[in-house]
A and B are shown apart, each in its own frame.
Chain A
Amino acid sequence: TQLLEQSPQFLSIQEGENLTVYCNSSSVFSSLQWYRQEPGEGPVLLVTVVTGGEVKKLKRLTFQFGDARKDSSLHITAAQPGDTGLYLCAGARVTGNQFYFGTGTSLTVIP
């Protein structure tokens, strides 16, 4: 059973377009991380959100944590080919010893 569901699973867009990736769960998380992974590499941490309703911006990327801390979104403005990769959300629960990873969103930005 997957604790975190991401959508869409695959996304192919033209350079300059905007996109949003969603990470949803019925469980509450104490924090949520977003990672980007390129082929042959490990996931690279982009951001951590910990407060319900929190919004963080990283250049053209905007991350939001849901008010109830059950979901999150990643919005990319004016996507660039360098944004291509696998985007993963991961949640930590108050109790427990692991990060629960989402199913992943594979993004391809076409020049």
Chain B
Amino acid sequence: GAGVSQSPSNKVTEKGKDVELRCDPISGHTALYWYRQSLGQGLEFLIYFQGNSAPDKSGLPSDRFSAERTGGSVSTLTIQRTQQEDSAVYLCASSSQPNTEAFFGQGTRLTVV
């Protein structure tokens, strides 16, 4: 597609349930990032994928969070046993090369009730 696409755009889930968030990056972009933006907060880095290299998971806040990127394209961020503090907007971005300008999707607003 022309831009980064994320789905769903909104997700409401009950505390304790698992959720999967999807990101479809710009075609041909080898780098993919996940960030989290809480209300009134800046963007918090979660995880980075580059080509076939091992992902940089240094930003994942707990072992309930995981992500994968299949075939160097689509990525899925999974949150297990969701907690209320997981409520935030989850943003995905891609770039053509590492540390070059990144283009963001519209985000997934996650609400844990």
Contact of B106 among A35, A42, A96, A100 (CB under 8 A): A42
Q: Report yes or no: B100 in contact with A31, Cβ–Cβ below 8 A.
A: yes
Q: Report yes or no: A99 in contact with B33, Cβ–Cβ below 8 A.
A: yes
State the interface size on chain B (CB cutoff 8 A): 24
Report how many A-B pairs have Cβ atoms within 8 Å: 61
| Stretch among B14-22, B41-49, B75-83 lining the A interface | B41-49
Interface positions of B from 82 to 113, Cβ below 8 Å from A:
91, 93, 98-107, 109
State the interface size on chain A (CB cutoff 8 A): 26
Instruction: Report chain B residues within 8 Å CB of A43.
Output: 43, 91, 104
Interface check A101, CB cutoff 8 A: yes
Q: Report yes or no: B50 in contact with A97, Cβ–Cβ below 8 A.
A: yes
Q: Report yes or no: A42 in contact with B42, Cβ–Cβ below 8 A.
A: no
Interface check B28, CB cutoff 8 A: no
Residue of B nearest to A101 (CB): B43
Q: Report yes or no: A2 in contact with B91, Cβ–Cβ below 8 A.
A: no
Interface positions of B from 1 to 25, Cβ below 8 Å from A:
4, 6
Q: Given the known A-B contacts A33-B102, A48-B101, A99-B33, are A88 and B48 also in contact in the complex, defined by CB atoms under 8 Å?
A: no
Instruction: Report chain B residues within 8 Å CB of A44.
Output: 104
Residue of A nearest to B101 (CB): A48
Please give the distance in Å from B34's CB to the nearest CB on chain A.
10
Interface positions of A from 69 to 111, Cβ below 8 Å from B:
88, 90, 92-94, 96-104
Q: Report yes or no: B56 in contact with A101, Cβ–Cβ below 8 A.
A: no
Interface check B61, CB cutoff 8 A: no
Q: Which residues of A contact B (CB under 8 A)?
A: 2, 30-31, 33, 35, 40-45, 48, 88, 90, 92-94, 96-104
